[in-house]
């Protein structure tokens, strides 16, 4: 590969502002945005304005725990020889989005059920906020200079400092030979922004019956993560020769299809279960 680029995206020279990591800030901003849009959509549908904040109070911490556990389980070799405190150190990254979404949604639905809220209604209101949160949170990876893809000389290639190349195959660590890489953080962020907008549009068009907007999210995110994962070169565990997250993406696609194909219609309306 020729080390010639027409243009490129520089990586930030810092990843923290004092004790505050940009990674953590991006995740926090993503959560705030997701809660805001979910609350607005819920209130517009006639829901109580306290419902979403109560759900978020439980779902967000559960999501963080689930995201960390997913990372530990799928990248367990990174913790070999480390003390147990390494499991809790998320300042430098290490949150698996699939685990976070699964745990957060599961706990959120449990809280909604306890409050007597219809599960389908609250899912339809909150689902577009999921890819929105992911889209914002991914920018934290840019500041950490992590999770980039294969070398490229495209105009939007991402510059990676030499001291941030230790986690990729050795043949790609030479800065002169490989100056830029695919900015997979940007690909996934743009994809998820578009997915959030598409879910809102699909919901307004009424293309999916009550409670099944989550299928659109599973299909959209699964498809996006599938091709983005194939571009990445950071080390990852694999099953039958495929990265774990590729299998996860395929599972999301199957789940989305299954939800759409599930027989039966949900009744119209919003609010308490009937």
> What is the tens place of the pLDDT at every residue in 177-215?
999 999 999 999 999 999 999 999 999 999 999 999 999
Is the Cβ–Cβ distance between 108 and 58 less than 8 Å? yes
216 pLDDT more than 90? yes
Q: How confident is the model at residue 267 (pLDDT cuts 50, 70, 90)?
A: very low
35 pLDDT more than 70? yes
Cα separation of 134 and 193, whole Å?
A: 8
239 pLDDT more than 80? yes
**Average pLDDT of the chain to the nearest whole number:** 87
> Rounded mean pLDDT of 235-253?
90
pLDDT cut 70: percent of the chain above it: 86
pLDDT recorded at residue 197:
98
> Rounded mean pLDDT of 18-45?
93
Domain ranges of the chain: 16-261
Cβ-based neighbours of 196, under 8 Å, separated by 6 or more: 128, 129, 130, 131, 132, 135
What would the pLDDT profile of 142-173 be if each residue is shown by its tens digit?
999 988 999 999 999 999 999 999 889 999 99
272 pLDDT more than 90? no
Cβ-based neighbours of 185, under 8 Å, separated by 6 or more: 138, 139, 141, 142, 147, 148
Cβ-based neighbours of 114, under 8 Å, separated by 6 or more: none
């Amino acid at each position: 590969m020729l080390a010639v680029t027409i243009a490129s995206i520089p990586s930030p020279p810092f990843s923290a502002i004092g004790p505050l990591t940009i990674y953590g800030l991006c995740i926090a901003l993503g959560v705030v945005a997701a809660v805001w849009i979910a609350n607005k959509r819920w209130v517009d549908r006639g829901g109580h304005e306290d419902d979403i904040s109560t759900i978020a109070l439980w779902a967000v911490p559960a999501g963080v725990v689930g995201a960390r556990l997913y990372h530990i389980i799928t990248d367990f070799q990174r913790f070999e020889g480390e003390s147990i405190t390494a499991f809790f150190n998320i300042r430098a990254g290490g949150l698996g989005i699939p685990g976070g979404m699964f745990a957060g949604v599961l706990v959120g639905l449990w809280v909604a059920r306890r409050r007597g809220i219809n599960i389908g209604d609250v899912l339809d209101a909150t689902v577009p906020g999921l890819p929105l949160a992911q889209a914002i949170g991914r920018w934290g990876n840019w500041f950490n200079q992590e999770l980039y893809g294969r070398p490229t000389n495209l105009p939007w290639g991402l510059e990676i400092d030499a001291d941030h190349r230790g986690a990729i195959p050795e043949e790609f660590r030479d800065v002169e030979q490989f100056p830029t890489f695919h900015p997979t953080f940007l690909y996934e962020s743009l994809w998820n922004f578009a997915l959030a907008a598409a879910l809102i549009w699909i919901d307004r068009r009424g293309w999916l019956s009550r409670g099944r907007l989550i299928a659109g999210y599973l299909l959209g995110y699964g498809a996006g993560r599938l091709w983005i994962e194939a571009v990445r070169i950071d080390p990852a565990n694999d099953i039958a020769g495929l990265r774990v997250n590729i299998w996860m993406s395929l599972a999301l696609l199957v789940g989305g299809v299954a939800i759409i194909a599930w027989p039966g219609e949900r009744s119209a309306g919003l609010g308490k279960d009937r």
